[in-house]
């Protein structure tokens, strides 16, 4: 199993937490209209879930447990992207205001996807 007690994983743990916090701050700046609030709450749920599930992944009891938690992180990061796209496409938030946060959600999705693929390969190799 991977050792998640290193600086590399601490950095990703901090990065996922910062992502969730940035989503919270974005929500606080949204207009009070119903659509903005509903989409914003969905974004907060997903973005903060990335951090919570990554922390759980760092404490995984097995490679399978790790894989499951990373896949949840991947799904939540990707869903965060969706909610931000809605905010932009519904003309609630200007694209430039979300550019950095949207980029971060895509990067986190890519990182979690790559990590999931690596663990999946490792599990397949262990079977053979």
Per residue of the chain (128 residues), give pLDDT as tens: 555 556 777 899 999 999 999 999 999 999 999 999 999 999 999 999 999 999 999 999 999 999 999 999 999 999 999 999 999 999 999 999 999 999 999 999 999 999 999 999 998 888 87
pTM for this structure? Answer: 0.91
Cβ atoms of residues 104 and 81 within 8 Å: no
Domains annotated for the chain, with CATH where assigned, are 7-127 (1.20.1440.60)
């Amino acid at each position: 199993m991977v050792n998640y007690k290193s600086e590399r994983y601490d950095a990703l743990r901090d990065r996922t937490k910062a992502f969730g916090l940035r989503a919270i701050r974005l929500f606080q700046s949204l207009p009070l209209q119903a659509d903005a609030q509903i989409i914003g709450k969905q974004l907060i749920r997903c973005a903060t879930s990335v951090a919570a599930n990554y922390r759980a992944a760092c404490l995984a009891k097995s490679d399978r447990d790790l894989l499951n938690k990373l896949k949840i992180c991947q799904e939540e990061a990707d869903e965060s992207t969706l909610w931000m796209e809605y905010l932009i496409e519904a003309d609630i938030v200007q694209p430039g205001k979300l550019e950095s946060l949207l980029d971060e959600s895509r990067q986190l999705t890519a990182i979690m996807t790559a990590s999931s693929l690596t663990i999946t390969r490792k599990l397949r190799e262990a079977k053979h």
